Each structure stands twice: as C-alpha cells, then as structure tokens.
Amino acid sequence: MVNIALLSRWHVHADDYAREIQANDNLSIKLVWDENADRGEKWAEELGVPFESDLQKVLTNPSIEGVVVTTPTNLHKEVIISAAENKKHIFTEKILAFTVKDCEEIYNTIDQYGVELMVSLPRLTEDYYLYAQKVIDNNWIGRLTAIRCRTAHDGAVVSPGESEGWLPKRFFDKEESGGGALIDLGAHPIYLTNRLAGKVKKLTARMNHTNNFGADDNAVVLVEYESGAMGILETGFLSKGSPFQLELYGTEGTILIEGNKIRQTFGNGEWSTPDNPPEALPMPMEQWASAIIDGTVPSINKSDVINLTLVNEIAMKSNKEGCWINPS
C-alpha cells in the first residue's frame, strides 16, 4: 500500500483524483495540505484524514510515499521539486510547468532522486486514440495530410442571474494558471496531435478573451508539422454540448472520431466502423501506482509532457506577437 498526501484542491480534477485513489487497492490517502487552509481543512474533513498546514512537514513525513499535486500551476515547479528531493513519488495535473526549461529542471530532479512522476494526460489511454495511432503506424490512410482535434465545454458560459460560469474564477487568474482555455482544456488536442502528427515545424495561435475574465476562453492553434501535414487545434470554455472530435485525413483515407465513436473510409467511398479497436490502457493514476509498486513503464512519457509545454509556450508567444513561431 502506497501512502498518499493530497496537495491542494485548487484544480477542478482534485476530487476526481481523490476518488481514483480511493478506488485503487494499492493507494491510500493519509494527509491533505492546501495553500488555502480553509479549503484544505474542509477537504480533509470530508475525506476523514488529517490536515497539515505546513507543506514541509508533509514532504518530510516518512510515512508519506507519494503526493498528488493539484496546486495552482505556478506552484508546480516549487512543490514538485521539493517533493522529489524528499523522495516522494509525484502525480500531477497538466501542464507540468509553463516553460520547457522548467520542465527539464523538474525532470533532472526526478532522475536524481529516482522517484516516479506521472502527469495526467488521460486521453492517451483511450481506445479511440490507440486506434488512431494504429492507423498511422500501419499507414492505413496513406500519408497524413491534415489533423484536427477539438475539446471544448461551457465552463465560462454565464447563465442568467449568475456572475460566472461553473468553472471557478481562479482558472482565469493568469498568475496562478498561466492562461485560460488553451493551457488547460487545450492540452488534450495538443498532446494527442503531438503523438499522431509528429514534430511541430511552426505554429500560429489566437486566444480570445470573449468574457473578459482575465485569460483566454476560446482558442485556435494552426500547426505545420515537419512531415508537411497541417493541424487545427481547437478549445474553449464557451461551447455547450460540444463533442470531442479527432479527425485524421490522409492520401488514402479518413478517420473521424466523435466522442468515442469511430468512422473510417479507405478511399472506396464506403464508411465503416472498426471491427476490433484496441482495449483502453490503464488510466494515469493506475499506471503511476504500477510504476511505483512493480516498476511498470508507463505509456505516458517525458516527451509527451515536455512537447505539451513546448506547444503551449510557443502558442503564447505567437498570440502575443501575432505571427508564426517555430520551436527553435
């Protein structure tokens, strides 16, 4: 059994991760810390575990073996490095850090102290992604010429009589979150297309502040890949009922994914669904537990994490400068 401390309820997925731990026979929640003491005390009471206001006391506690970091994103680097230096395994929410330089510093510390770091990129475990990757790997649609991915929800849509949407205002605090829709929900289209389309040659991004909450609530990134393929990545907090969409277009066929439904055509004008799509992989939390306990190598890796930050970093620069930017 791996004893876990939960570090902050800032992120909206913090409760999801607590439930995943409770459902895992190999993990056990023992402590809660939060930079907001009132919020942390309430959470600890709900979970039936102690609250500790001093982060260093949590990290130096010899009975704690792992931590789940769902702090504001601007605290990730400090908290994760400190956790690693105290030889705690770390599970954290996307994105790892605001810059590639900071990510590299985190990974250098992880390697130095020999702990397991998992960043939650859950759609890389889904059956539809695995099928799309199989299609690419087997060249079933020929040369990939275009890819489009959209993930959006209505978290910033303000209902009549309300002052804000269901997404907390803290998600629009640029100091804490580093941005808005793109850096958070837009991570899914970024890391999926990074895997499927390969290295980014250059990109241009536009991030709108439609509701003037302080950070972008609607964003589009246009990408040119080194392969010559083009990409359209879309996200936002202003779309009610928007389905997840992943589209791959090639010289010999097309794959269309909406929700978890897959349609395909291989150039003969007929559409079909796959007979035997791959089974989904274990979720990131389960992969993290397995890596700690028996050394299983996770499917989500350092390259996925750093390339996610890379695209975010240059997209921010492109939006600010109003031009195409390359990663170098």
Q: Which band of pLDDT confidence, cut at 50, 70 and 90, is reported for residue 226?
A: very high
Superfamily in which the 123-281 domain is placed by CATH: Dihydrodipicolinate Reductase; domain 2 (3.30.360.10)
64 in Cβ contact with 56 (< 8 Å):
no
Question: Which residue ranges make up each domain of the chain?
Answer: 2-120, 123-281
Q: Distance between CA 228 and CA 192 in Å, rounded?
A: 17
The pair of three-digit structure tokens given for residue 56, joined into one six-digit string: 């260093």
**Which H helix or E strand runs over 130?**
helix 127-137
In DSSP terms, which residues pair with 117 in a beta bridge?
90
Q: Is 307 exposed, middle or buried (0-12, 13-18, 19+ CB in 10 A)?
A: buried
pLDDT over 80 at 266, yes or no: yes
Say which CATH class 2-120 falls into.
Answer: alpha beta
pLDDT mean over 215-241: 97
**Mean pLDDT, residues 305-328:** 96
Query: Where do the DSSP E strands lie in the chain?
Result: 2-7, 27-33, 66-69, 89-93, 117-120, 144-152, 200-208, 218-225, 230-236, 245-250, 253-258, 261-265
Predicted confidence at residue 194, as pLDDT, reads 98
In whole angstroms, give the CA distance from residue 116 to residue 2: 12
Rounded Cα distance between 25 and 310, Å, is: 35
Average pLDDT of the residues in 157-175: 89
pLDDT in tens, 14-68: 999 999 999 999 999 999 999 999 999 999 999 999 999 999 999 999 999 999 9
